[in-house]
Amino acid sequence: MVTPPIHTNRIIIVGAGLGALYAALKLTPRPVLMISPETLGEGASSAWAQGGVAAAMGKGDTAALHAEDTVKAGAGTVDARVARQVTEEARAHIAALTQLGTPFDRDDDGGYVLSREAAHSFARVVRVHGDQAGREIMEALIAEVEQTPSVQVMEGVLATRLEVKDGNVTGIWIQSSSKDASRPVLISGLAYLLAGGGSGGLFALTTNPPRIRGQVIGFAARAGAMMADTEFVQFHPTALDVGKDPAPLATEALRGAGATLINKDGKRFMLDVHPDAELAPRDIVARAIFAHTQAGMRPMLDTRDAIGAKIIEEYPAVAKYCEDAGIDPVTEPIPVAAAAHYHMGGIDTAADGRASLGNLWVCGEASSTGLHGANRLASNGLLEALVYARSCAESIVGSLSVEPAKAADAISVKFKTGGTAPKPELVAKLRKTMTDNVGVVRNAAGLKKALLDIAALEATDKDCEPFLNMTATATLIAAAALLRKESRGGHFRDDFPDAKPDMAHRSHVTLEQAMKVRTKIFEEAQ
């Protein structure tokens, strides 16, 4: 028996991270329904962000210089207009978060403590307790949301599919996010905002929370939304190589504070790779780390001389990760590896956050705004989520034909048994093929193998919507990577190791187009 559709006069937000929370507050007092697969505050990449929020707030720094660094890091595919817009808003969002109670680090004069991270020409990353920015910002936003009557949070619920009519989103299918799943339920609202994270968890070696496996990007793609820059995945150079899944992260701020990268022989190897050494763009550092790992040279992050015992108090998250792994960072270097960290690509979004489907907006890592290009500038991720959460909220309000009532009935869903959840063994195989064939270094043979593997895995479980969303996003990444026959930013192909000037532009693809690439590979293999 099918559960009847549910209608609400609320604006529906999928996700519960920074972008989702901030947008919900910006929509106040209009009624909002947030759909969260976890308890609020858990399972979101935002809460795991260690670096902070990039903002030009230091002496001599400007938004224009921040935008210039963003464009430079993006390796030729950043939308300069978007970079200017985002960087110009940065200060205002730092002020707003401060007003909400975020305890940003301050100096003795009350100014913000700023850290320098890779590819920034200034120290401009506003942080909290060293490496606690994501968690502390989330806590401030959650506290505010919990005091906001217009926002209802539905926890333990997973969005799996969009309902579309005549090119417009008219509803969203949801099910229980428990391992037993449930039968899907269709819920419709006034407008739809996707803020459900990226795709890093599609890779076996990742820094992302377990839920972040491309599901939101996947179901938007399956509904026909245009995608952009899906080949560009950023691999963080310094995930702790201690056998954990997800891999704990050693924040880039450590290198900004002088930590160095050494190999098993104690040699500082980045000096031979790039003039900026450890503070070179992330893709360059990640490839150097990967090469040393592949060669058995055991890359390590050495914080001993530059930071020493201060790491315990100034970077408590990293210190705790090391302690759990039996490493003393005060006296020992920390083993590291390059891990999938951030997806620059995603659902193609306009300046106001609109997707190509009507009545649909996107903010945060699930979106592709043109800000990051081929290689995200460190700590621009949280900033982008804030800027586009505001843009989306304003655009949604402007699009509504009538102003929604200031109150709406709370939604209650009783899920029925009988749904399907992804099979762990299939997810593990998908993640392995992504790391093995669509990882830090790519080539045609590996990408074709990945597409064939993805197709085979998908064929074994055609009825599981959450898994189909994962395979859709994996297909988009691999197909776009195969089509881009060059190396640029986070996308590196050893069969096309150089950047091609005529390809210094963003890419756009639909799932239908990516599937045609996959089908062609299958036919060639027969």
- Residues carrying an active site annotation: 282
Query: Which token pair is 257?
Result: 């504070």
**Beta bridge partner(s), residue 75:** none
Query: Which token pair is 361?
Result: 């907006």
Q: Which residue is listed with tokens 């490839």?
A: 287
Nearest Cα residue to 67 out of 118, 106, 121, 135: 121
Q: Is the peptide bond before 31 cis (omega within 30 degrees of 0)?
A: no
SS3 501: helix
Distance CA 145, CA 26 (A): 10
Q: Are 64 and 81 in contact (CB under 8 A)?
A: no
SS3 41: coil
Nearest Cα residue to 479 out of 301, 116, 265, 230: 230
Q: Are 291 and 273 in contact (CB under 8 A)?
A: no
Element (H, E) at 53: strand 53-54
Q: Are 478 and 202 in contact (CB under 8 A)?
A: no
Return the amino acid letter for 14: V
Nearest Cα residue to 229 out of 522, 473, 501, 517: 473
| Other residues' Cβ atoms within 10 Å of the Cβ of residue 384 | 24
Tell me the HSE value of 443 on the side-chain side, using a 13 A CA sphere: 4
Please, what is the Cα angle at 22 between 178 and 321, to 5 degrees?
60
Distance CA 212, CA 234 (A): 14
- Look at phi and psi of residue 397 and say left if phi exceeds 0, alpha if psi is from -120 to 50, else beta: alpha
For the residues of 288-305, what is the DSSP string, one character each?
HHHHHHHTT---EEE-TT
For the packed helices 380-399 and 133-146, what is the interaxial angle rounded to 10 degrees? 30
SS3 217: helix
Q: Are 97 and 91 in contact (CB under 8 A)?
A: no
Nearest Cα residue to 304 out of 273, 327, 276, 280: 327
Element (H, E) at 13: strand 11-14
